[in-house]
Amino acid sequence: MSRISKTKKMNWYLAVLRNYAGFSGRARRTEYWMFVLFNIIFCIAAIVLDNIVGTAIDGVGYGLFYILYALALFIPALAVAVRRLHDVGKSGWWIFIALIPIVGAIWLLVLYATDSQPGDNEYGPNPKEVTEKA
């Protein structure tokens, strides 16, 4: 298993931001999970910053910085999640399966963790194969 440098990991996050409203195409697992990892780190940093600066809402634990960050990243996070579903051959509408309590969220997590559908599918070429050939 190859090790990915810290710069390369951050590049996956930045790639999602550059394609912030791109709902078409496919996103490989690495792109999705690196985005999720950095998103969690930055959310925690925003919460800590809210508490240090004093903008945290009493009883909630987060405030202005977290809310601004979450609003700014809502569309990119949704877009990469839809592209990830496309990569496993599912429509982006499958994201709504998460509305089914417990089971829906677990099934969506399984879909996000599933390997890419080999070859081209109706959403485009397999990004894993395109990257490996380059």
Q: Is the pLDDT at 7 greater than 80, yes or no? A: no
pLDDT tops 60 at residue 79: yes
Whether pLDDT at 54 is above 60? yes
- What would the mean pLDDT of 33-42 be, rounded to a whole number? 96
For residue 38, pLDDT beyond 90:
yes
At residue 20, the pLDDT reads 87
Better-scored residue on pLDDT, 11 or 4 = 11
Tell me how long the chain is: 134
Tell me the C-alpha distance between 111 and 15, whole Å. Answer: 21
At residue 37, does pLDDT exceed 70?
A: yes
Contact assessment for residue 86 and residue 123, using Cβ atoms and an 8 Å cutoff: yes
Query: What is the signed CA dihedral for 64, 65, 71, 72, rounded to 10 degrees?
Result: 150
pLDDT at 134 over 60: no
Task: Decide which of 15 and 3 is more confident.
Answer: 15
Domain boundaries, the chain: 6-133
